C-alpha cells in the first residue's frame, strides 16, 4: 500500500471515530392526559363504505367513546355497544376515526397498546398512515388491520400511480439472509392499489389488495393480543425502506422503553420493502396517522358469508350490517386503549472538527 493510501485510510478512520452515531430522536410523544389534543376526529362518511357513523369533536356523544382514563394513564377509543341500528335507516354503529393533526414525511412510529378491538363479527379495526387529501397517489401504510375473528394482523402497503408505468413491488422473504429477511408470510407482492399481477412471488392478486404480509408473531391481533396485556408495534419509514415489527406485552426491546430505539438491533421485521423495486420517496408522501374501527365495508362484506355469524343464521343475518346493527353487546371489547404513540425522526451524524484534520 502506498503512503498516500495509508494516509487516506487513517484519515477515514479518524473521521469515522469522530462522527456521532446516527440515531432516532423523539419528535412527538402522544400519551397521557393530552393525548387527544393532538388528534382531529373525522366525521365524514367512511371511505370503505362501512356500516358506521364516525362522530366529530362537536358531537356531545364523543365523550362517551373517546376519553383519557387517569387510573390507567391510557387513552380509550370505543365504538357504541349499547344501541341497535337499522340498515337503510341509520348510517351505522357509532365509532371513532381519530387522525393526527401533524403530517409526517418519514419517521419511526412506535405504538404501545394495552388493548385493541377484539374479535367480533363485522369489526374492521385499523392503525395506519396515509395522505389526508391525495389517496392513493401518496400512498397508505397499514400497520395493524384485519376483520372479524382474525387472529393475526396484516401489514400492507398501497401505492398509487404518479406516472404511467410506475412500479412498487416487494420480494417477500428472499433467502439473502440465514433466516430470510422478514418473519411475516407475504401473501401479495404488488403494492399498486389496483394491481392484479406481480413480478415477484405469487403472480396474481385481487385489485385493491396491495402488497401484504400476515403477521406470524405470537398474540399480535384481536382477543389474543388483549389476553396478554397488549403489546407494541413499530413502523420505520425512510426514503429507502418501509418495515414493521410487533412484540407482545413485555417482550419489546429495552431501547424502546428507554427512549433510544435502534431498529438495527431488533432482528427481522414482519414486513420489509428491501430488495423490491419500489421508489418509496415517490409513492409515500405527507402522511397523517389514523386510528379507526369501521364495520363491514368493502372487506367485511366481501367475506361475510364465510363468518360463523352468517352461517349460524343466514336468514336472520343475510348481510354484515344486519348483524352489526342488531347485536350491540358483541362490541363491548371493540376499543383501542393506547399507552403511548411516539414518533421519532432520524438524526443525521454530526462530524466534529477533528475529522477534517
For residue 179, what pLDDT is reported? Answer: 72
What is the pLDDT, as a whole number, of residue 350?
56
According to the model, what pLDDT value does residue 175 have?
57
Burial string for 279-312 (b: 16+ CB within 10 Å, else e) reads ebebbbeebbbbbbbbbbbebbbeebeebebbee
Judge whether residue 166 has pLDDT over 90: no
Distance CA 173, CA 179 (A): 9
**Would you call 333 a catalytic residue per the annotation?**
no
One of 140, 154, 169, 337 is an active-site residue; which one? 140
Judged by average pLDDT, the poorest of 33-42, 149-158, 223-232, 341-350 is 341-350
Domains along the chain with CATH numbers: 25-157+217-264+286-345 (2.60.120.200)
pTM for the model: 0.91
- Choice among 53, 137, 145, 240 that is catalytic: 145
Q: Is 236 a catalytic residue?
A: no
List the grid coordinates of 75.
387513552
Closest CA to 286 of 338, 342, 237: 237
**DSSP calls for 283-332:** H--SBEEEEEEEESHHHHHHTGGGSHHHHH-TTT-SSHHHHHHH-GGGGT
pLDDT over 70 at 216, yes or no: yes
In the structure grid, which three cell numbers stand for residue 237, read together?
A: 419509514
Amino acid at each position: 500500500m502506498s503512503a498516500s493510501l495509508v494516509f487516506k485510510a487513517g484519515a477515514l478512520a479518524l473521521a469515522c471515530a469522530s462522527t456521532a452515531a446516527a440515531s432516532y430522536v423523539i419528535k412527538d410523544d402522544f400519551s397521557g392526559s393530552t393525548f387527544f389534543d393532538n388528534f382531529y376526529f373525522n366525521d365524514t362518511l367512511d371511505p370503505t363504505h362501512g356500516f358506521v357513523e364516525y362522530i366529530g369533536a362537536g358531537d356531545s356523544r364523543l365523550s362517551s367513546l373517546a376519553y383519557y382514563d387517569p387510573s390507567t394513564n391510557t387513552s380509550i377509543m370505543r365504538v357504541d355497544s349499547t344501541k341497535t341500528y337499522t340498515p337503510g335507516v341509520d348510517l351505522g354503529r357509532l365509532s371513532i376515526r381519530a387522525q393526527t393533526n401533524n403530517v409526517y414525511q418519514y419517521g419511526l412510529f412506535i405504538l404501545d397498546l394495552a388493548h385493541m378491538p377484539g374479535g367480533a363479527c363485522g369489526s374492521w379495526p385499523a392503525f395506519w398512515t396515509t395522505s389526508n387529501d391525495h389517496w392513493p397517489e401518496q400512498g397508505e401504510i397499514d400497520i395493524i388491520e384485519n376483520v372479524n375473528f382474525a387472529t393475526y394482523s396484516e401489514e400492507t402497503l398501497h401505492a398509487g400511480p404518479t406516472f404511467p408505468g410506475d412500479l412498487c413491488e416487494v420480494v417477500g422473504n428472499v433467502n439473502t439472509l440465514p433466516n430470510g429477511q422478514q418473519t411475516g408470510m407475504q401473501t401479495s407482492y404488488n403494492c399498486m392499489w389496483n394491481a392484479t399481477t406481480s413480478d415477484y412471488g405469487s403472480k396474481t392478486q385481487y385489485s385493491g389488495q396491495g402488497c401484504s404480509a400476515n403477521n406470524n408473531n405470537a398474540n399480535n391481533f384481536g382477543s389474543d393480543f388483549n389476553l396478554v396485556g397488549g403489546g407494541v408495534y413499530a413502523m420505520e419509514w425512510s426514503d429507502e425502506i418501509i418495515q414493521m415489527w410487533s412484540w407482545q406485552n413485555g417482550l419489546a426491546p429495552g431501547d424502546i422503553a428507554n427512549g433510544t430505539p435502534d431498529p438495527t438491533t431488533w432482528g427481522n421485521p414482519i414486513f420489509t420493502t428491501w430488495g423490491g423495486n419500489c421508489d418509496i420517496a415517490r409513492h409515500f408522501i405527507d402522511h397523517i396517522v389514523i386510528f379507526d374501527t369501521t364495520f363491514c365495508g368493502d372487506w367485511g362484506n366481501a367475506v361475510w358469508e364465510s363468518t360463523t355469524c352468517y352461517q349460524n343464521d343466514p336468514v336472520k343475518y343475510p348481510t354484515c350490517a344486519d348483524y352489526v346493527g342488531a347485536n350491540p353487546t358483541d362490541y363491548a371489547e371493540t376499543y383501542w386503549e393506547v399507552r403511548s404513540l411516539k414518533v421519532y425522526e432520524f438524526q443525521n451524524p454530526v462530524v466534529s472538527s477533528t475529522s477534517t484534520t
